[in-house]
Amino acid sequence: MTPCQSSRTTKSRDLVQRDWSVFGSGVKSRPWVFCRDSIASMSRLRQPVNICSDRGSSPLEVVAWSVVLLAPITPMLGIYQQLSDQLAAESIARHGLRAAVFGFQSGGDPKQALDAALLTLSQSWNKEVSSVNLQCTPNCTAGSMMHLEVRINRATAIQSAGLQEQ
Amino acid sequence: MKSDSGTIAPLIAIYLAVILLVVLGTSAVGVALVAKNRIQGVADSAVLFGHDRTVIRGVPEEGALGEQVEKFLESAQSAKRIQIVTARSWVQGEKSNLEICARFLNLLGVGIKSGVICASSSAQSFIVDEGK
């Protein structure tokens, strides 16, 4: 009978004696060796206790560690996506607005120039522009200000530029 | 080995701390890039706005440049989400210069603001009209 089996059925005093008989002759330096199951019952003896059980589930441990180590990947991907969208939106807004301003100053339609630029810019960033809003304050005439708002998914960027006075 | 007793908790805590550090570090770098981009865009637009409106025969006027830059920063929608800390404009030869230091407010839509980021920009006219 092993000490682990005996600890369930015997009282503490009996277990001490039994363990001594099992380990005492073979393990000289560590005569007091008890099992996990007997720790609770042995606590009142105030003796050093070693756990001699290494039972456990390796698959369970792999799953637990995988969860701990892989869990941050999802929020990291979300943050990366948001930052990527934001950078793309800022860049597209900036260059799109420049194209619109040049389109206006060359006497053309700024929206037409913007649409042509947006096609190239969104392809170069490999992003789909959700919405675009081009407006002027107070109106699209020389000397006023032009604003372009670009939205890519949840990222929004806005850029402003002055229209050159004639 | 004398003893193999211990707890795995410090190891897990260190792993989690490293993961958290990597996430925060990566986010901070990305957010700084976004903020720098926006502030640089505002600086570029502001110096162009000021230069276009103050240049006479290819040479900008320093006093008027500051006024126009201020006007732009007050009215431009792109400048609404940034908090200007300092703005300095000056003329050097035929070149208009602007340096602004600002914070980007409500970064990534989560209510945080960036640290102070400085951007400088210059503008110069290369084609001078007869009258201007």
Choose from B34, B69, B71, B96 for mutation: most chain A CBs within 10 A: B34
Tokens representing A20? 């001594």
Sequence letter at residue A104: F
Instruction: Give the closest-approach CA distance of B38 to chain A in angstroms.
Output: 7
State the fold for domain B13-124. Answer: Pantoate--beta-alanine Ligase; Chain: A,domain 2 (3.30.1300)
Decide which of A54 and A17 is more confident.
Answer: A54
What pLDDT, in 10s, does the model give residues B108-119? 666 777 789 999
With CA atoms as reference, the chain B residue closest to A84 would be B30
Counting residues of chain B whose pLDDT is more than 90, the rounded percentage is: 36
Q: Full-prediction pTM beyond 0.90? A: no
Contacts with B80 from chain A: Cβ below 8 Å: 158
- Do strands B59-60 and B95-104 pair parallel, antiparallel, or not at all (unpaired)? unpaired
DSSP secondary-structure letter at B23?
A: H
Indicate the class that CATH gives domain A81-162: alpha beta
pLDDT > 70: percent of chain A: 67
Q: Per the CB < 8 Å rule, is B23 touching A76?
A: yes
Q: How far is the alpha carbon of A86 from chain B, nearest alpha carbon, in Å?
A: 7
Separation in Å, CA of B39 to nearest CA in chain A: 10
For chain A, domain boundaries: 3-55, 81-162
User: What CA–CA distances, in Å, run from A107 to A21, A71, A91, A166, B57?
Assistant: 104, 55, 25, 11, 23
Give the model's pLDDT for residue A1.
43
Give, in order, the Cα–Cα distances in Å from B90 to each of A2, A160, B120.
Answer: 89, 22, 11
User: Rounded to an integer, what distance in angstroms lies between the CA atom of residue A157 and that of residue A148?
Assistant: 8
Angle at B123 between CA B120 and CA B129, to 5 degrees: 170
Q: Is B33 on the interface with A (CB under 8 A)?
A: yes
User: Between these two residues, B100 and A35, which has the higher pLDDT value?
Assistant: B100
What's the pLDDT tens digit per position in B61-80? 888 999 999 999 998 888 88
Average pLDDT over residues B33-60: 90
CB-based contact, B34 to chain A, within 8 Å: yes
